Every structure is written in C-alpha cells, then in structure tokens.
C-alpha cells in the first residue's frame, strides 16, 4: 500500500492544469440526441436536460459519463417509464451510424459517441404536492424513483456562484484522492464520485474561503467526519436538497465511510 500522498501534486494537477469539459461539447451532444430521437411521436413533449459531473465540470475520470435526462412532460396517466425507454432505444437503433452504439442497461441507456459514453435517462415529469418538479424513472423491477436534475443543477450552480472556483477544485481534488486509493483501501469504495460531490456541496460556504488547499482539505474532512459520526448525519442531503444522502437506496455504510475519511486524513498528515 502507498504510505503517503503528494498532496501538492494533486493540487497542481486539479487546480492548475486540469482540463474543464467544455460547454460546447455538451451542447453538441444534446443537439445530437435531439436529432436521434426527433422521430418520436411526442418529440415536442420531451425536455432534454444535461446533469451530473461532466455538466458541472467536476469529472476526473472517464467513468463519469454525461447524464442526459429525456423527460416526457405529458404522460396521459402512465406510471411506468420502461416502454418509453424501449421506444427511445429502438429509435436510436434505427440510425445506421448509432445502431451498434446504443445499449440498454438497467433503467438507463448508454450511447457511445466519439469515444465517450452518454447516459440517457428516459423519464416522466413528476410534480409533487409542493409543486416541486422531478423526473420519475422505473427500474427493471418495476419500482419507481424520483430524481431531481433541475434542482441538482440549480443548487450546484448557486453554490458555485457563492463559493467560486474553490468549490469546483475541492470536489475534483477529493475525487482524485479517493480514486487513487480505492483499490488499496476497501472502505474508499463506499464513496462514489457523485456521493463525494454531494458531501462537498454540503460543506458550509465558509469552508471555501481559503488560500491554502492542504489546510482546506483537512478542515473539510474534519467537518464531514464529525457530521457523519453525529446523530445529525441524516441532515446531509443530495445536491437537490430533497433526498437524504444516507438513504436505503444509496446503501451507504457510515462506519466504512468514517474509516475511509480517517485513513485519508492520516495519509495526508504523513505527507505534510
């Protein structure tokens, strides 16, 4: 096992030299998807929305795909999205250029384009009693779940506007550190990239007012560790600020996450 970590190398890599995924690539992909599904009978009733790490410019590895929600706004009372997903799948397969580049995986589709993979999430518009809009998706077992891509985007952008580039950079540094040690420290695998992103988003704004990254990283770990170990851990939410982070669906194990955080802090201390 690696005994230390060159923290400054990570900081230089992800703060000074990392490439930000350009918006024009996202726009191009959304336009491509729009053209591929345009023959759908209710195409004008579909909203196409990018979300996730690539949209947020916080991706650090190729497995963080661009997530694109295909939200059917009027469903005529339908409550199962699987037929809609299959319709989108069949439409794309009819395209000669992409018939071998689309795959069905669980509740979503994976579209390959220019050596990148795009996660397509066919869904139904869902508005609850509080007028909060979400995207309903039916999994392979027929169970429905509600996602909130619009709120995810809105809340992420608000945090970035309030906290600046330190917010983006801290997410990328944490992701890269956990990615580096995930094969060596089993407990690291509890923290997927989207969970790491949400944990950093949960930090109070004052934690992003810093000039010294190594100190900021340690303070962030301390805050997250104390929050998860306390009785207040259920106050940690996904970026949409509706779904709790430690839900049954996310299947997070607090003790394992605390072990991972403790180990990372120990490694960083040894390298300073």
* CA separation for the pair 134, 121 (Å, rounded): 13
Query: pLDDT tens per residue, the chain (272 residues)?
Result: 444 555 666 666 656 555 677 888 999 999 999 999 999 999 999 999 999 999 999 998 888 999 999 999 988 888 999 999 999 999 999 999 999 999 999 999 999 998 899 999 999 999 999 999 999 999 999 999 999 999 999 999 999 999 999 999 999 999 988 888 877 777 777 788 999 999 999 999 999 999 888 889 999 999 999 999 999 999 999 999 999 999 877 788 888 899 889 988 888 777 76
Q: Which of 234, 260, 99, 105 is nearest to 179 (CA)?
A: 260
Report yes or no: 250 and 140 within 8 Å, Cβ to Cβ. no
Q: What integer pLDDT is reported at residue 1 of this predicted model?
A: 42
Report yes or no: 122 and 67 within 8 Å, Cβ to Cβ. no
Tokens at 161, concatenated? 């506007």
Q: Is 228 helix (H, G, I), strand (E, B) or coil?
A: helix
Instruction: Please identify which residue in the block is written with the tokens 């096992």.
Output: 1
Instruction: Please identify which residue in the block is written with the tokens 């694109």.
Output: 68
Tokens at 43, concatenated? 């195409």
Count CB-CB contacts under 10 A for residue 158. 11
Q: What integer pLDDT is reported at residue 269 of this predicted model?
A: 75
Ordered by start, the domain boundaries in the chain are: 7-17+153-271, 23-148
DSSP state of 24: H
Q: What integer pLDDT is reported at residue 61 of this predicted model?
A: 85
Q: Which of 122, 134, 127 is nearest to 81 (CA)?
A: 122
CATH, domain range 23-148: 3.30.460.10
Residue 163, phi then psi, degrees to nearest 5: -110, -10
Q: What integer pLDDT is reported at residue 117 of this predicted model?
A: 95
């Amino acid at each position: 096992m690696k005994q230390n970590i060159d923290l400054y190398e990570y900081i230089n890599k992800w703060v000074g030299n990392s490439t930000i995924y350009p918006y024009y690539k996202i726009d191009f992909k959304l336009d491509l998807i729009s053209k591929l599904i345009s023959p759908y009978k209710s195409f004008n009733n579909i909203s196409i929305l990018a979300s996730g790490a690539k949209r947020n410019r916080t991706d650090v590895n190729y497995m963080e795909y661009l997530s694109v929600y295909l939200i059917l706004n009027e469903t005529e009372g339908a409550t199962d999205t699987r037929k809609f997903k299959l319709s989108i799948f069949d439409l794309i397969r009819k395209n000669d250029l992409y018939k071998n580049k689309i795959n069905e995986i669980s509740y979503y589709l994976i579209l390959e384009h220019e050596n990148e993979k795009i996660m397509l999430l066919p869904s139904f518009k869902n508005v609850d009693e509080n007028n909060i809009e979400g995207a309903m998706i039916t999994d392979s077992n027929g169970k429905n779940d509600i996602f909130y891509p619009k709120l995810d985007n809105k809340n992420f952008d608000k945090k970035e506007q309030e906290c600046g580039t330190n917010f983006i950079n801290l997410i990328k540094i944490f992701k890269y550190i956990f990615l580096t040690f995930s094969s060596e420290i089993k407990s690291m695998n509890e923290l997927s990239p989207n969970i790491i992103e949400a944990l950093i988003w949960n930090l109070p704004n004052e934690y992003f007012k810093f000039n010294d990254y190594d100190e900021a990283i340690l303070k962030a770990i301390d805050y997250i560790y104390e929050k998860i170990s306390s009785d207040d851990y259920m106050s940690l939410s996904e970026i949409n600020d509706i779904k709790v982070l430690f839900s049954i669906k996310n299947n997070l194990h607090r003790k394992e996450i605390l072990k991972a955080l403790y180990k990372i802090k120990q490694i960083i201390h040894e390298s300073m």
